[in-house]
Chains A and B, each alone.
Chain A
Amino acid sequence: MKTPRLKFPLTLEIGGEPMTFIGRDMLVGWFFQGFPDPMPLTDCWKREGPEKRRELAVAMEAWHDQLLCRGVWIPTEGSTCRRLTPELVQRLGDQRDRAVRQYLSGLGWVTPDDKGHELSLEPLPRGLRFDDPMADAERRGALTRIPSKNLLAALTFVADRARTAPHVVWRRWGISEFIWTWRARNAEKEASQRAVVRGALPAEFAEIGIEA
């Protein structure tokens, strides 16, 4: 069964006034197009030299801009919405970083426990139409690409957990589904680590109320 794609509001302050944009889920392969590997601030990134680290940090900024162009929509005529263009992203000025935080919070990448989590809970108006045929070619290109080493490992892991092929996750899953599965695996791992630390029974036992 197909999961409905997430849609959520992003409220920014533009020219002193609140303006609400619409964030939408997207396919995993498209989300990770241009994603720097290794990701800045990870252990792998810290092992790189200063120049490589800078290069990766610049790539991360570029990816943030691309992300907003792919995932954030603005109404143009009536209820028809289109994606932000690179110039519109630039026009967000100091609200651009806030848009990135809200978008990643809406997808579940940034959780309520993380620093920078920001999510508007207001309902979106009904009847919005999302129309952007221009993005098709770029999306096709992203979906046929083989991801980089670390990303491929994460993708294979998530696919294994879901008992499906990696290309299905890459080309058919929404990114929020990928993030959810990844987080569920981490929660599971943390629970079993806690159990090992306590010298207790496996996590599955604790979950049903049996503790050592």
Chain B
Amino acid sequence: MTLASLNGLMHATQTEVELTSAASALLSRKSVILRKIPASTFRALFPIVPREILEGLPVDLPAAEFNARLRERELAWLETAPGAERRRYRVELEAVKFAALAIALVEPRMTEDEVERLGDEAAPLYLRLLAFSNLIEERKPEPETQAVGEDAAA
């Protein structure tokens, strides 16, 4: 039996992430430390799905099918929803990224508003956080392939 220790837990549940050059310039540092977040916390950050999307959607579908059907209905709703409602929903969805990073950043500590100021530079950090927390599958770098088309012909 390996008894857990505080140091061991801290070490195993955080990771250092290198910043893009733009983010590095904004934060005056080369990297940040992120800690894991659980799926339950992550799910709680999402806005309430509008009733119109959920109405009539069977709840007993397998998870993958349910999510696909939900996404389909969400897109259909976005096409027809009043402008203000649509904007509010999309802004709230966008804010999930900033809220998740604000929770996960150990060093430096940042608020949601501060993370938002990173603009598009927050996206790579967000993807890294989701992969580290096992919320998405980490993308492996694609193997180098031979150039095709004009370059190959040249």
Nearest CB on B from A2, distance (A): 27
> Contact between B5 and A94 (Cβ–Cβ < 8 Å)?
no
Does B153 sit at the interface, judged by CB under 8 A?
no
Does A18 sit at the interface, judged by CB under 8 A?
yes
Does B44 sit at the interface, judged by CB under 8 A?
yes
> Contact between A92 and B38 (Cβ–Cβ < 8 Å)?
yes
Does B17 sit at the interface, judged by CB under 8 A?
no
Interface string of A48-62 (1 = CB under 8 A from B): 001100100010010
Does A192 sit at the interface, judged by CB under 8 A?
no
Residue numbers in B under 8 Å from A12 (CB-CB): 4
Smallest Cβ-Cβ distance to B10: which chain A residue: A91
> Contact between B10 and A19 (Cβ–Cβ < 8 Å)?
no
In the complex with contacts A61-B44, A88-B9, A93-B3 CB distance below 8 A: no
> Contact between A75 and B3 (Cβ–Cβ < 8 Å)?
yes
Smallest Cβ-Cβ distance to A65: which chain B residue: B40
Tell me, in angstroms, the Cα distance from A61 to B42 when the chains sit together: 11
Smallest Cβ-Cβ distance to A84: which chain B residue: B9
Within 8 A of A (CB), among B1-44: 1-6, 8-14, 35-41, 44
Nearest CB on B from A115, distance (A): 16
In the complex with contacts A19-B9, A74-B9, A93-B37 CB distance below 8 A: yes
> Contact between B39 and A75 (Cβ–Cβ < 8 Å)?
no
* Number of cross-chain contacts by CB at 8 Å: 84
Tell me, in angstroms, the Cα distance from A65 to B2 when the chains sit together: 23
CB < 8 Å neighbour of B40 from A11, A15, A20, A61: A61
> Contact between B12 and A15 (Cβ–Cβ < 8 Å)?
yes
Residue numbers in B under 8 Å from A20 (CB-CB): 1-4
Q: How large is the interface on B (under 10, 10 to 19, 20 to 34, 35 or more residues)?
A: 20 to 34
> Contact between B8 and A19 (Cβ–Cβ < 8 Å)?
yes
Tell me, in angstroms, the Cα distance from A21 to B8 when the chains sit together: 12
Residue numbers in A under 8 Å from B11 (CB-CB): 15
> Contact between A96 and B51 (Cβ–Cβ < 8 Å)?
no
Tell me, in angstroms, the Cα distance from A17 to B5 when the chains sit together: 12
Residue numbers in A under 8 Å from B51 (CB-CB): 50
Within 8 A of B (CB), among A4-38: 9, 11-12, 14-15, 17-21
Tell me, in angstroms, the Cα distance from A75 to B9 when the chains sit together: 10
Does B111 sit at the interface, judged by CB under 8 A?
no
Tell me, in angstroms, the Cα distance from A12 to B1 when the chains sit together: 11
Nearest CB on A from B85, distance (A): 17
In the complex with contacts A17-B2, A50-B54, A125-B3, A90-B9 CB distance below 8 A: no
> Contact between B4 and A91 (Cβ–Cβ < 8 Å)?
no
Tell me, in angstroms, the Cα distance from A92 to B41 when the chains sit together: 11
Smallest Cβ-Cβ distance to B14: which chain A residue: A91
- B-binding residues in A (CB < 8 A): 9, 11-12, 14-15, 17-21, 50-51, 54, 58, 61, 64-65, 74-76, 87-94, 96-97, 122, 125
Identify 18 residue pairs between A and B in the complex whose beta-carbon atoms are under 8 Å apart, listed by A's number.
Answer: A11-B1, A12-B4, A14-B4, A14-B12, A17-B2, A18-B2, A19-B2, A19-B8, A20-B4, A75-B3, A90-B35, A90-B38, A90-B103, A92-B13, A92-B38, A93-B133, A94-B38, A97-B38
